[in-house]
Structure 1
Amino acid sequence: MKNIGLGCSNFSIAVYIGNKPSMLEYQQLSCLSPLTLGEIEMINQACGNGWRKVFNVYAKLLYALDKEKFAYSTLAPTWQKYRERFLLQQGSQTALLFSPPQLTTTKHTLHIICGKTYAKHLLATNQLNASFTWLDEQFAIDKAKNLIVCPYFDYRQLSNANIKKLAFLLNDINSQ
């Protein structure tokens, strides 16, 4: 099975999401395709606020990571500029995947599943083999597989406080 989604084929952070932008070109996607400059804004214009939140939260999360371990925040002066110039583009080491997690990539790849409901669906349909430890109602982790379940990438569910918590968990997994 191959990765299907948006982003860099050489990713070190993979976010798995249970839906795709409603534009035809993304519904028909059959591979991992890097975004081009301005494409995030095009998706936001065509698909609305929900996708704007996904991209914003992703960029804010990368910006919240430890700068000593992750260079994302050193590439642009703000998370907004990072989102516009680098997120999910070739060379960004980031991916937003619509396919189930492929946890056999490398030990250094961090995997994030957006939403408890999506994670439970993947487990129930045997599309995911993981042994999660639930840290609370919103976050679960499988440290052996560098895999975290977090709230969906939306401001209400993945608030700034929850983004900080997720960044802490990613920093912690990355240091082991």
Structure 2
Amino acid sequence: MPSADYLGAPNPQLVLYLPHRPHGLAQLIDLPCARALVDANSNHWRKIVTLLAKIASPVADDWRHYRDEQLFRQTALCFAPRLVETGCWHWIGGRDNLQRFDTLHHNAQLLTDAPDISVDADRRLLLTPYPDYRQLSNALVRRIRCALGDQGFYGS
């Protein structure tokens, strides 16, 4: 699925949708690599790929290895405001970003103990603040992992 709108696995378990592209995307499309993406960009992108790894890693404490060795074999980044058709989970980060998806209909419910995070299990949709440490603390990452785990995300 090589495209300027997509970076990562052809059949991902989780796609993170973002409103902007990293520098050097054209060089990364054929061989996606978290380290190369971070090296070609700013600390901002290190935070994004780290949070993606913390949420997607099958083993919570192994997120560093997962980020460096597996991230784009099992996840993807999408920069277009439309969900990819892969049967995966879709993570839209940021309220402004969500507004770009003007035809997206969902029934996402707020998590009771994390009111800025919503899940629509039927659509396999995760809505969160923008993926940045200030907005997605480790406690919120744990809560997201719990919500995804309750939906069988880590067991598949």
* TM-score, normalisation: structure 1: 0.71
CA contact (8 A) 1:16 1:97 kept: yes
What is the deviation of 1:33? 4.9
CA contact (8 A) 2:14 2:56 kept: no
Q: Which residue of 1 aligns with 2:76?
A: 95
CA contact (8 A) 1:15 1:113 kept: yes
What is the deviation of 1:170? 0.9
Q: Which residue of 1 aligns with 2:91?
A: 112
Amino acid at match of 1:132: A
- How big is each residue's C-alpha offset from its partner over 1:10-68, in whole Å with a ceiling of 9 and x where there is no partner? 11212111111033627xx9xx7551xxx3223222211000000111111123xxxxx
Report the 3-state secondary structure (helix = DSSP H, G, I; strand = E; otherwise coil) of the residue aligned with 2:77: strand
CA distance in 1, matches of 2:12, 2:94: 20
Once superposed, what is the RMSD of the aligned Cα atoms?
2.7
CA distance in 1, matches of 2:144, 2:25: 32
* TM-score, normalisation: structure 2: 0.79
CA contact (8 A) 1:16 1:114 kept: yes
Report the 3-state secondary structure (helix = DSSP H, G, I; strand = E; otherwise coil) of the residue aligned with 1:47: coil
CA contact (8 A) 2:47 2:131 kept: yes
Larger radius of gyration: 1
Q: Which residue of 2 aligns with 1:66?
A: none
CA contact (8 A) 1:17 1:113 kept: yes
Amino acid at match of 2:127: V
CA contact (8 A) 2:109 2:118 kept: yes
Number of equivalenced pairs: 149
What is the deviation of 1:141? 2.0
Report the 3-state secondary structure (helix = DSSP H, G, I; strand = E; otherwise coil) of the residue aligned with 1:51: helix
78 and 138 in structure 1: CA distance in 2 versus 1, 3 angstrom threshold: same
Report the 3-state secondary structure (helix = DSSP H, G, I; strand = E; otherwise coil) of the residue aligned with 2:68: helix
Q: Which residue of 2 aligns with 1:80?
A: 64
Percent of aligned positions with the same letter in both sequences?
30
Q: Quick one: which of 27, 38, 45 aligns to 1:44?
A: 38
153 and 115 in structure 1: CA distance in 2 versus 1, 3 angstrom threshold: same
82 and 143 in structure 1: CA distance in 2 versus 1, 3 angstrom threshold: closer
CA distance in 2, matches of 1:24, 1:104: 21
Extract unaligned runs of 5+ from structure 2.
none
Q: Which residue of 2 aligns with 1:133?
A: 109
Q: Which residue of 2 aligns with 1:17?
A: 18
Query: 3-12 or 13-22: which moved more?
Result: 3-12
